[in-house]
């Protein structure tokens, strides 16, 4: 990395895909609250006037799925018909079956519920150990929701997204080049009002002043109008914003989505474990940037492979760092679940604004609880 522009995006909780992620995780949380051993693989699809909640559930309890879905929509902000998706009027269809017994065989024995590879990443360029573009993009979308819910900008709708382009020189972020914010608004609000208010009350409070200059561009609702939003404007589907959920494209992603999956699914739990490993290694000063890959086979507890890449920033050879990982971190699915306490209803809160780098949540995979042990190892 020498001189380059890098862009990451985020979407608000009212984005159609994020609606589906949150409903799926709300259903998961509802089952885990009653039965911590519940097996859930829940996906949601949204379109005009309807939600379809589908997938597999095996649990020693029942959950009123339509009630959970409607409450999630109301919390997001779709309790007002003017934004095209009403929590009270929407049709909620459910198609939930029991988990396949063939999959259960592997999980019951302590193995992974499926094959796949997961990535974890951390960098020291921000206090959150995340890259700056995705950190700023999430900050903008969270701010959009904040000023909407507080009434500071009452004409804002729930749907929206942000994109931030950062200029890097010799691997370090030096300026914000371009900011794109698209936000739903009421029909009687003019573009000029939206543009001025979003820059003043959303963008400027979030973006670091020292990284702004006269050449920083702001593109607010570039088409000039964003009234039709949410599932009325576009369909939504669980798991369609996995790069928003993770590292904004700065690190690789194995392909598996998180939302709606209980922690026996390594798509979720192993990705959290990989982030925990990477963050603690970087916080301990072992590398400035680090990516770890973990891969599994269905029904097998031990990973089939673990690899580490420090992109030349490590204080030790990558092979030595891998030895440290293997010595200090048990990456079997059952061990990950126990160490991080993942059989709890903690997931809906992660389903918008990213699963990593969250300073507003106490997430177990974000804790720096291994730093001192790793420093002692050095």
The pLDDT value recorded for residue 105 is 67
The pLDDT value recorded for residue 1 is 52
Q: How far is CA 294 from the centre of its chain?
A: 19
255-287 as b/e, with b when 16 or more CB fall inside 10 Å? ebbbbbbbbbbbbbbbbbbbbbbbbbbbbbebb
The pLDDT value recorded for residue 290 is 98
Measured CA to CA in angstroms, residue 215 lies from 71, 177, 248 at distances of: 44, 7, 24
Tell me the pLDDT band of 238, cut-offs 50, 70 and 90. Answer: very high
Phi then psi for residue 173, to 5 deg, are -70, 130
Residues whose CB falls within 8 Å of the CB of residue 214, separated by 6 or more in sequence, listed in order:
none
Q: Tell me: the pLDDT tens digits for 266-282?
A: 999 999 999 999 999 99
- Alpha-carbon span 58 to 9, nearest angstrom: 35
Q: Tell me: the pLDDT tens digits for 98-117?
A: 877 777 766 776 788 788 99
pLDDT, averaged across the chain? 95
- Alpha-carbon span 131 to 122, nearest angstrom: 8
Q: Tell me: the pLDDT tens digits for 303-351?
A: 999 999 999 999 999 999 999 999 999 999 999 999 999 999 999 999 9
Q: Tell me: the pLDDT tens digits for 150-161?
A: 999 999 999 999
- Alpha-carbon span 253 to 232, nearest angstrom: 30
In 3D space, the residue among 37, 21, 23 whose CA is nearest the CA of residue 344 turns out to be 37
Q: Tell me: the pLDDT tens digits for 37-87?
A: 999 999 999 999 999 999 999 999 999 999 999 999 999 999 988 898 999
DSSP state of 221: S
Residues whose CB falls within 8 Å of the CB of residue 193, separated by 6 or more in sequence, listed in order:
155
How many Cβ atoms are within 10 Å of 171's Cβ, its own excluded? 16
Task: Give the rounded percent of residues in the chain with a pLDDT score beyond 90.
Answer: 90
Measured CA to CA in angstroms, residue 301 lies from 74, 120, 264, 335, 360 at distances of: 40, 19, 11, 9, 33
């Amino acid at each position: 990395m020498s001189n380059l522009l890098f862009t990451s995006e985020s979407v608000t909780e009212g984005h159609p895909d994020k609606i589906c992620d949150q409903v799926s995780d709300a259903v998961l949380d509802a089952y885990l609250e009653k039965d911590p051993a519940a097996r859930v693989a829940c996906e949601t699809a949204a379109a005009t006037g309807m939600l379809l909640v589908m997938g597999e559930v095996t649990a020693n309890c029942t959950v009123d799925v339509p009630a959970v879905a409607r409450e999630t929509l109301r919390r997001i902000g779709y309790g007002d018909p003017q934004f095209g998706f009403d929590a009270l009027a929407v049709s909620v269809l459910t198609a939930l079956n029991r988990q396949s017994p063939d999959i259960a065989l592997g999980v019951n024995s302590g193995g992974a519920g499926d094959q796949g590879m997961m990535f974890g990443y951390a960098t020291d360029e921000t206090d959150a150990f995340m890259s700056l573009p995705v950190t700023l993009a999430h900050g903008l979308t969270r701010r959009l929701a904040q000023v909407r819910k507080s009434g500071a900008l009452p004409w804002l709708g729930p749907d929206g997204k942000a994109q931030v382009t950062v200029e890097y020189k010799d691997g370090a972020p030096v300026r914000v080049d371009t900011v794109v914010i698209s936000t739903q608004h009421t029909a009687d609000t003019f573009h000029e009002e939206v543009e001025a208010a979003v820059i003043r009350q959303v963008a400027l409070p979030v973006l670091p002043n020292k990284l702004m200059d006269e050449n920083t561009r702001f593109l607010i609702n570039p088409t000039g109008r964003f009234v039709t939003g949410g599932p009325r404007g576009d369909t939504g589907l669980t798991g369609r914003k996995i790069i928003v959920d993770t590292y904004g494209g700065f690190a690789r992603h194995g392909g598996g989505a998180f939302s709606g999956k209980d922690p026996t699914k390594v798509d979720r739990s192993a990705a959290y474990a990989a982030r925990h490993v990477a963050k603690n290694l970087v916080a301990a000063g072992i590398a400035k940037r680090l990516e770890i890959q973990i891969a599994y086979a269905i029904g097998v507890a031990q990973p089939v492979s673990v690899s580490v890449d420090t992109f030349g920033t490590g204080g030790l050879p990558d092979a030595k760092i891998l030895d440290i990982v293997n010595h200090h971190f048990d990456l079997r699915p059952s061990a990950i679940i126990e160490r991080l306490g993942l059989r709890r209803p903690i997931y809906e809160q992660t389903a918008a604004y990213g699963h990593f780098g969250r300073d507003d949540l106490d997430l177990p995979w974000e804790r720096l609880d291994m730093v001192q042990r790793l420093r002692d190892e050095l």
